[in-house]
Structure 1
C-alpha cells in the first residue's frame, strides 16, 4: 500500500467510511436578474468610485467621443491594435482630429523605450465587465499585449454593454472559462493605485494615471 493509500485509509477509518465530497454550492454568488441598463448604472457608479471614467456612446459615435477625450487631454498619439476591429475602425475613420495612431508591432526589447517614454495613450478591447466590482476583463493577445493596458498614462477600454455581467462568477460561467484560459488574464478596476507609501492610497504611481471606459450601447 502506498503512502497515499495509507493516509486515505486512515481518513476513512476516522470518518467511519468513504470520503464524501459535498456538492459545490454557488448560490451565495447568485444575484437577482438585472437589465443591461441596470448593470451599466452599477458598473459606472462602482468604477467611478475608484477614479475610473465612463462615457456612454453608440457604435456610430464612439470614435468622435474618443477624439474629443484625447483632444481635451492633449494626447499626441494613441497606441491601437493592428488587427482588432477597433484599430481598423480608427485607421479607416479618416478623422483629422485623432492623434497619431501607433501600432505595437515590434518585439518589446526594441520597442520598450518608446512605449514607456513616448506613448501618451492606448486603446484596447475588453472581454467583458463586472458590474458588481466595476471591473474590466482583459485577455491579452499578440495583437493586444498586456503592456498596452499597463504602461501608457491613459488607458482607454472599449466595453460592449451586452458584455456586462453582474458578478465575476457569472462572467466565468457564461464565458465558459473552464474550457481554457490565456496564460495571462487581467481584471482592471480603475487606474493604477498603491498604498505602499505610509499606507496612503495614491493613484497613478505606477501604470496608467487614467482609465477611461467607452461603453458602447
Structure 2
C-alpha cells in the first residue's frame, strides 16, 4: 500500500463521525428471600431433577426408601458414611484404577455433598476432593446429593463472594443442573448418556 493510499484511509477514519457508546444496563443479580427454596425446587424440577426436604436425623432413611423404589441397593459413598440396613455402602477409598469396574458396573447410585446451590438456576455446586472425587458424581446411574439449606444462595455472584472463590478453587468445580442429558441433531433429548440419568437432591432443612 502506498503512503498516499494509507494517508487517505487514515484521513477518512479521522473524519468519520464518532459513535457514542451506550450506557451499560443497570443489572442487579436476582434475590428471592423467603422464596429461595421454592425457586430452587421449581428450577431443578424443570430440568428433571428431584428434590426432597429432610432433616439431619432422617435423611439416611429417606435415601433408603427412594433407592429401594428404584431397585438400587449398592451405593458408592464417601469414606466413613454409613447407610441403613438394606443398602450396601461401597466406600470410595481406593485409587480409581482399582475402583473403575465397581464405579461403572458395580453400584447403582453415588452420594455426594454439595458445597452450595443456586436458587436462580436450580444449580448444585460441587467441589470434588480426595474423599468425594469427581467420578463419584459422574459414573453411577443415580446421583444423590445432600444439600444443607444454609448453603442455598440466590445467585452465582453471591456464592462466589460468600465462599471467596477468588482466593482459590479446586481443579474441578462442578455446576450441576439436573441429570445428564444430550440431544441429537433432531433435538431428541436423552438422559444418562454422559453421566447419571437421575438426580435426587435431599435438602437438610435443619442444617
Task: Tell me what 1:161 maps to.
Answer: 149
Corresponding residue for residue 40 of structure 2: 43
The structural deviation recorded for 1:170 is 0.8
The offset of 1:210, in angstroms, is: 0.3
1:1-217 pair list within 5 angstroms: 28-32=27-31, 34-35=33-34, 38-83=35-80, 87=81, 90=82, 95-97=84-86, 99-217=87-205
Deviations 1:48-90 (A, max 9, x none): 011000000111111111111111111121111015xxx1xx2
Does structure 2 retain, via aligned residues, the 8 Å contact 1:136–1:188? yes
Residue pair 1:29, 1:169 contacting (<8 A) in 2 also: no
Q: How many positions carry a matched residue from both structures?
A: 183
SS in structure 2 opposite 1:122? Answer: strand
Query: In the TM superposition, what whole-angstrom CA distance separates every residue of 1:136-180 from its partner, at most 9, and x where no partner exists?
Result: 000000100000000100000000111111111111011110010
Q: Which ranges in structure 2 are unaligned for 5 or more consecutive residues? A: 1-13, 15-23
Give the TM-score normalised by structure 1.
0.79
| Mapped partners of 2:204, 2:32: distance in 1 | 21
Task: Say if 1:197 and 1:151 are closer, same or farther in 2 by CA, change over 3 A.
Answer: farther
Q: What CA RMSD, in Å, does the superposition of the two structures yield over aligned residues? A: 1.8
* Inter-partner Cα distance in structure 2 for 1:198 and 1:32: 37
Segments of structure 1 that go 5 or more residues without pairing to the other structure are 1-13, 15-24
